[in-house]
């Protein structure tokens, strides 16, 4: 038993010495190819075996003949191990290079196509991650292009809408300055109207910029949906009377919601104003609200005659104003974009669909947690 312990001790010392040297070599070559590292690992394995054998032989536990035989066996094993490590290393390096070449297309706006040759499990996992990243980048580029197009359209439309009232204000101010106006009070009222419209446009632009920048700070409070809709209807009633439109809010359930009252009031006001202006005289704008499972849905139905099917996906885009004339009082096309931004900030979503004689805008919000 004592002899076996001595043999194990000497073998361990020899193998440990080879392992320490191998670890130092790996540290020096840690920035080299994986093929070199695999070769070093194979060489350390064989060298550790040979070092242990030589240590045992030095202690005279092996005869010269046995030492020669063992050394020959270890040498042959070393040749096979090193050759296998080199082949494996070259194969892994080749697969890594193919993966790197496939990943270079990211920077050029292309998509990632995984190499079609077999690879290791780790490289396959990396390839799947790169493919998923490529899909996300493609979606991001598409959103960026759509946003840039929307911004350009918005700048063009806003420039047109600003130019018209500014030209009118300049003409009226010059007429007042020259003293050629027979009814100055009418000009003053018109100037006030144009200034209010410009102020509204600037306010919408500021609100939209906060939404796009993610700087819309919400202060949710628990309130009744019935009260929220009632306030919005009361605010829109004068405009409805001016246009000869009936407002109906009989289908509103008194369900609780946790929302920012100020921002959601703006959402409902934008939807109601849009519906009133698009509904002909003697028409009806109906507001309804109900709870559907874990969601609360508020709908505004108008009598605009419907929206062309090809335009439905663009209704909530910034600057969209449909096929009607893009001149005042059609607005700058920001109201529905603001609606979508505020609703999505509340973890909800807004959608539109055509109904008989008009269209229905629906705002879906998370239901308030029961107390």
Q: Is 361's pLDDT higher than 90?
A: yes
Q: Is the pLDDT of residue 211 over 50?
A: yes
Q: What is the separation of C-alpha 198 from the centre of its chain, rounded to a whole number of angstroms?
A: 33
pLDDT value of position 324: 47
Dig out the tokens for 25 from the structure. 């070599």
What torsion do the CA atoms of 219, 222, 226, 232 make, to the nearest 10 degrees? -10
Read off the pLDDT band of 125 (50, 70, 90).
confident
Query: How far apart, in Å, are the Cα atoms of 70 and each of 22, 50, 232?
Result: 22, 8, 94
Does 362 have pLDDT greater than 90?
yes
Q: Which of these, 338, 334, 336, 276, lies nearest to 301 by C-alpha position?
A: 276
Residue whose pair of structure tokens reads 């300049």 in the numeric block? 170
Handedness of CA 252, 255, 257, 261 (dihedral sign): positive
- 63 contact partners, CB below 8 Å, separation of at least 6: none
Q: What is the pLDDT of residues 326-353, one digit of tens each?
A: 334 445 567 888 888 899 988 899 999 9
Per-residue model confidence as pLDDT tens digits over 224-264? 888 888 888 998 999 999 999 999 988 788 888 899 888 89
Q: Of 218, 280, 291, 199, nearest to 251 (Cα)?
A: 291
**Please, are residues 289 and 305 in contact by the beta-carbon 8 Å criterion?**
no
The answer to whether residues 336 and 315 touch, using CB atoms and an 8 Å cutoff, is yes
Mean pLDDT in residue range 141-161:
73
Residues whose CB is less than 8 angstroms from the CB of residue 295 and which lie 6 or more positions away in sequence, other chains included: 364, 365, 366, 367
pLDDT for the residue 105 = 65
Q: Which of 344, 289, 339 is nearest to 315 (CA)?
A: 339
Mean per-residue pLDDT over the chain, rounded: 78
286-319 residue pLDDT tens: 999 888 888 899 999 999 888 888 888 888 877 6
Half-sphere exposure of 104 (CA within 13 A, CB side): 5
Report, as an integer, the average pLDDT of 159-170.
78
**Confidence band for 35, pLDDT divided at 50, 70 and 90:** low
């Amino acid at each position: 038993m004592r002899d076996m312990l001595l043999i194990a001790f000497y073998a361990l010392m020899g193998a440990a010495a080879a392992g320490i040297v191998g670890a130092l070599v790996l540290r020096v070559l840690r920035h080299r190819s994986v093929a070199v590292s695999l070769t070093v690992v194979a060489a350390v394995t064989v060298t550790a075996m040979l070092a242990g054998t030589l240590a045992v032989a030095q202690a005279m536990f092996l005869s010269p003949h046995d030492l020669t035989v063992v050394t020959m066996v270890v040498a042959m094993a070393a040749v096979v191990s090193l050759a296998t490590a080199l082949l494996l290393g070259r194969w892994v390096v080749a697969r890594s290079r193919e993966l790197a070449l496939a990943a270079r297309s990211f920077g050029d706006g292309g998509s990632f196509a995984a190499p079609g040759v077999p690879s290791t499990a780790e490289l396959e996992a990396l390839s799947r991650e790169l493919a998923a990243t490529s899909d996300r980048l493609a979606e991001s580029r598409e959103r960026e292009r759509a946003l840039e197009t929307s911004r350009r359209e918005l700048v063009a439309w806003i420039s047109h809408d600003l130019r018209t009232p500014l030209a009118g204000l300049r003409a009226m101010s010059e007429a007042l300055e020259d003293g050629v106006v027979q009814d100055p009070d009418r000009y003053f009222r018109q100037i006030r109207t144009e200034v209010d419209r410009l102020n509204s446009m600037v306010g919408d632009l500021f609100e939209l910029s906060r939404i796009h920048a993610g700087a819309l700070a919400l202060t949710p409070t628990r309130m009744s949906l019935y009260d929220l809709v009632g306030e919005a209807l009361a605010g829109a009633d004068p405009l409805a009377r001016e246009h000869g439109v009936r407002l109906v809010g009989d289908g509103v359930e008194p369900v609780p919601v946790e929302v920012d009252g100020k921002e959601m009031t703006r959402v409902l006001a934008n939807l109601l104003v849009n519906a009133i202006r698009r509904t002909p005289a003697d028409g009806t704008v109906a507001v309804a609200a109900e709870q559907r499972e874990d969601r609360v849905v508020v709908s505004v139905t108008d009598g605009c005659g419907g929206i062309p099917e090809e335009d439905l996906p663009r209704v909530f885009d910034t600057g969209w104003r449909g096929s009607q004339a893009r001149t005042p009082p059609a607005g700058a096309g920001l109201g529905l974009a603001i609606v979508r931004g505020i609703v999505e900030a509340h973890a909800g979503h807004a959608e539109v669909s055509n109904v008989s004689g008009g269209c229905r805008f629906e705002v879906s919000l998370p239901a308030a947690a029961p107390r």
